[in-house]
Amino acid sequence: MNLIDSRVQKILRAAGSAPSVYNTQPWRVSVAGSTVRVHADPARQLQHSDPHGREMYLSCGAYLFNARTAARRESLDAVVRVLPDPHDELLVAVLELEPGRTPNTDELELSVAIARRTTSRTPFDDQPLFSDVLHAIVSAAHDESADLRVIQPSEPVRADVIALVRRAEALAAEDPVARAEELAWTGTDADRADGIPQELLGPASADDHAGARQFLASTGVAQFERMSTMAVLTTPGDTPRDWVLAGQALEHVLLVATTFFVRASFATTVLENPTTRHDLRRVLSLDAAPQMLMRLGYSSMPKHTPRRSVDELRS
Ligand SMILES: Cc1cc2nc3c(=O)[nH]c(=O)nc-3n(C[C@H](O)[C@H](O)[C@H](O)COP(=O)(O)O)c2cc1C
């Protein structure tokens, strides 16, 4: 293995730690010399809950951001071309890796956070985020041409957002196809390299004042916090290109949060249902497309979900 090969291997391993909907890891990758091509993998798309592939492309965007960030750790610059490609509609991005300078402290800190970031599904401490930390997290979204609409615990609209989360959860629970899709990817066996094992689903919320996602396969019930900060990630448009942009912004936000020991928990059912997604945009008076709803807060370090090996992803 030559030098560039071993660095690419490290970059791809780090990229694969990205968050993805139900840990589907809906990406494929091909490498030719210093050129890396990332494709979406529709065999791993949620055909019912994500018919247009919004969450699939968003997940691939997170993979792409990790690849960009991990490249800097290897003193490489990634020149990135993001879809569309009229000849290859599943192509997400092409990265050309070029020699770069040694990473600065911020770049190094961000790349180290890749392996530390995990999704939280347990209650947070009842403590809002510090304003300077929040400012850094919002700036990360801006760096990727996205926006983060913060919802503070004191804002009356928070109750409206939580009511919409509950409505979306109730509607999905009545939808047998959505339930079957969720159960295919959650509560998965310990030997699977994808999906979310039961022990990581966290407890169901006893009395949901937090806006937490309720999984069918969750065991146990807990009281969730009332004071966590919520945030909605938005993009100017709502095309596959915007979804890839949203994924990069999401991972940038999550890695910066990780550097401050802030964890994120997602509740995306509200965005999978077109009616509740529209209502979320209306109650928050958003002038951009909502792509992700999260709670941000402090909790103990959750365990890592499994990942497929780099060799399995190569096409
Ligand atoms: C588009 C997208 C939607 C997600 N939706 C949810 C969700 O509704 N609830 C949840 O608990 N996690 C959600 N997640 C987090 C994934 O389940 C998580 O990233 C995956 O299981 C891998 O685990 P990790 O983030 O701890 O590495 C979502 C992630 C992405 C990228």
> Residues 226-280: pLDDT tens digits?
888 999 999 999 999 999 999 999 999 999 999 999 999 999 999 999 999 999 9
pTM of the entire predicted model? 0.97
C-alpha to C-alpha distance for 211 and 196, rounded to whole angstroms: 20
Give distance in angstroms: CA of 20 to centre of ligand 1.
5
Digit-coded pLDDT (tens) for 179-217: 999 999 999 998 999 999 999 998 988 877 888 888 888
Structure tokens that stand for 49 in this block: 């809950």
What pLDDT sits at residue 269? Answer: 96
Q: Is the CB of 60 under 6 A from ligand 1?
A: no
Tell how strand 221-222 and strand 204-205 pair up: parallel
Closest Cα to atom 21 of ligand 1: 23
Strands, DSSP E only, in the chain?
27-32, 35-40, 76-82, 91-99, 147-151, 186-188, 196-197, 204-205, 221-222, 229-235, 263-266, 289-297
Question: What structural domains does the chain harbor?
Answer: 3-116 (3.40.109.10), 131-297 (3.40.109.10)
- 8 Å CB contact between 25 and 308: yes
Report the range of poorest mean pLDDT among 88-92, 124-128, 240-244.
124-128
54: its two tokens = 């919004």
Residue nearest to atom 11 of ligand 1 (CA): 266
